[in-house]
Structure 1
């Protein structure tokens, strides 16, 4: 009984500590909205600066709304983890088994709810949702893909019927094929999480706070009480960008009238201290968020996470046939490449890197909606990385 009580107390204390930065940030947002509108802008309007006060409020609203919206989406959206992948894969295996057994409850459920399913349990691709279309690069297919294609296709470029890359993607630096994980431990063994008891995907890492392996983990952010990973990186990036612009705007528009009043006789006694706090808070957060936004903008263009920026990754060597064709000299060169801090196999070019996170349409890049391209556990490689690191399928079992 005593142990159970202390566990509940510890859980409550941990929850309070984790939630306190989020609550503090929400309170700052609420106070900033009130102070800016009803203390600063209303003062300007009352003192014959009507146009100035109205313009201040008009430009304040979109920055404030987008910052709060992005903050909400970043904190409430799961970054994705390997446990979710395992559950999806189990469901896919059950559904595939159901195709072989017409009496399976999955087949009966699919047939009862999907009028486009035929007797063999295959559906029409026209009914795929937007996420599936994005995964296949927006190119339609005649038949529903098999289980193996579903498991791998979101991470690679689709091929046409002749096996060639479509002309619209022919100039892309992305390879048209992908293999299993290319990142390994220092000894060359597969990456395995002892806590989750599962293999680690490329670019995934175990978070001590979330107690899970996060897909494409960037870092754990206490200000949103959430990990920044594959599914919510866009929202986090937009949050810090709009947060930076919001702080710069508030500081710039509040500083000028504050200085004017301070210059007046006895201005220190006449000034509203909400103005001083607006200047101080916006300056502090702006000095922190602005360089942080610039850093993540560069990482976004390079298709690189914060962990990948600071840590060296160990990449698996290419296939034995590749090494035999190029000799021992190429192998020594490969050993240098696989331990290089500056080697980035995920860099597909600036435009492709941005689209992979922010989406295909530039119209939605700066709106906190949508989902990233891919599935979070397989990632396309650039041509050089594929030629040097990717293994042949028949060599995977030998590792």
Structure 2
């Protein structure tokens, strides 16, 4: 037991190494750009002020989105998806798999669930003892079920899901803007140092490496950001891109695709003025999502959806009545 706790403690410590690396590189870039470039290399006062102003806006937005992606806790299923004491005891005491599956089916009839496991059974997490809502998966790193889980990102040391996916996308976008701004403003001084028009000194080293580091990070971020833009346009998570969610009629990668505009609103909200600010504006509560096309009669698990809404939905909805919600829209 003590050894297991020690290993988990070491794992948690080492998991912060990528965050420390990124933070160190960004802090060095701040010193190199502000002091070595703007105050040591630049001689034009107006140019220096303009560079510093734009740089600090990019720098602040980068840090703001980065720390929001790191420290926003992943959303977990509410209590309505947890087994009651009686149901849990009945489920654990039952030895027949078919009867266990039927127990979960009976419980799931009270919940807004569309998706199933690959076998067709109700998606149930034995470790968390919860019936998984649609798009919910268990994260082995966080050791919990996460709503609309996308992936666990080591660079933010956090599970990217419903609660912080917007922050993660903004982090990628502002990181690219930060790199592009540095590379574009440093390039001319990189050439001057390279051909010897500027004197050698500590600034030369910092300016040369600023360009290389900015371009290197931009290229890697560009592919990652482009991939996630495609996922948002299709309304898929990374896990759903590799393994299509299974519905009553079988797997369907586009099951949650409801059009580009509505897909964007799922992540960024309906108020476009808040799309580029790292405040939570995603629609719904992460427990259920609008579907592309599915008749209610085709899914007996949703027979009591109205009862779910009348009972108050999730705990998060009852805690904040002003939070915008997404009601499942079915089409015959």
Shift of 1:256: 1.7
Structure 1, residues 27-67: CA drift from partner, whole Å, max 9, x if none? Answer: 2221111111000111243x3x2222222112111111111
TM-score (norm 2): 0.77
Say yes or no: does 1:34 pair with 2:27: no
Larger Rg: 1
Say yes or no: does 1:258 pair with 2:190: yes
SS of aligned partner of 1:206: strand
Shift of 1:86: 1.8
Which residue matches 1:353?
Answer: 263
SS of aligned partner of 2:15: helix
SS of aligned partner of 2:73: coil
**Equivalent residues in 2 for 1:147-296, closer than 5 Å:** 180-264=112-196, 272-296=204-228
**Equivalent residues in 2 for 1:1-399, closer than 5 Å:** 3-4=1-2, 6-45=3-42, 47=43, 49-82=44-77, 85-86=78-79, 180-264=112-196, 272-317=204-249, 338-340=250-252, 343-382=253-292, 384-386=293-295, 390-391=299-300, 393-394=302-303
Shift of 1:301: 2.2
- Contact 2:15 2:157 survives alignment (8 Å): yes
Which residue matches 1:163?
Answer: none
Shift of 1:389: 5.2
SS of aligned partner of 2:194: helix
Rounded to whole Å, the distance in 1 between the matches of 2:7 and 2:299 is 46
Shift of 1:194: 2.2
Rounded to whole Å, the distance in 1 between the matches of 2:284 and 2:301 is 22
Equivalent residues, number = 280
Alpha carbons of 1:393 and 1:297: their partners in 2 closer, same or farther (altered >3 Å)? Answer: closer
Alpha carbons of 1:37 and 1:184: their partners in 2 closer, same or farther (altered >3 Å)? Answer: same
Which residue matches 2:311?
Answer: none
Structure 1, residues 338-370: CA drift from partner, whole Å, max 9, x if none? Answer: 234xx4121222221111211221110000012
Q: Where do 5+ consecutive residues of structure 2 fail to align? A: 84-109, 306-332
- Contact 1:215 1:376 survives alignment (8 Å): yes
- Contact 2:255 2:291 survives alignment (8 Å): yes
- Contact 2:81 2:130 survives alignment (8 Å): no
Structure 1, residues 116-146: CA drift from partner, whole Å, max 9, x if none? Answer: xxxxxxxxxxxxxxxxxxxxxxxxxxxxxxx
Rounded to whole Å, the distance in 2 between the matches of 1:386 and 1:306 is 26
TM-score (norm 1): 0.64
Rounded to whole Å, the distance in 1 between the matches of 2:60 and 2:157 is 20
CA RMSD in angstroms comes to 2.7
SS of aligned partner of 2:294: helix
